[in-house]
Amino acid sequence: MDSNMKVKLLAVTYEGILTVTDADALRNALVNGIGREKAYGMGLMTLAGIKND
């Protein structure tokens, strides 16, 4: 790659509550990431549990 070439990436953060309907697909997304920009640290997921009151 030419050192003068620029790469432009758009980063977005989503926050919410999800319901897992396909555990294998979720596992694959967590392990492998999502999208084409994974080599640049994009497409990674972080999940946290919620408290059920």
Identify the CA nearest to 46 among candidates 34, 30, 35, 32.
30
Q: How much is the pLDDT for 1?
A: 56
Kindly state whether residue 15 falls inside one of the protein's structural domains.
no
Q: How much is the pLDDT for 10?
A: 83
Q: How much is the pLDDT for 29?
A: 93
pLDDT digits (tens, 9 = 90+) for 2-53: 678 888 888 888 899 999 999 999 999 999 999 888 888 889 988 988 888 7
Q: How much is the pLDDT for 32?
A: 93
> How many separate domains does the chain show?
1
Q: How much is the pLDDT for 21?
A: 97
Kindly state whether residue 39 falls inside one of the protein's structural domains.
yes
What's the domain range around 26?
20-46
Q: How much is the pLDDT for 28?
A: 95
d(CA 50, CA 3): 45
Kindly state whether residue 28 falls inside one of the protein's structural domains.
yes
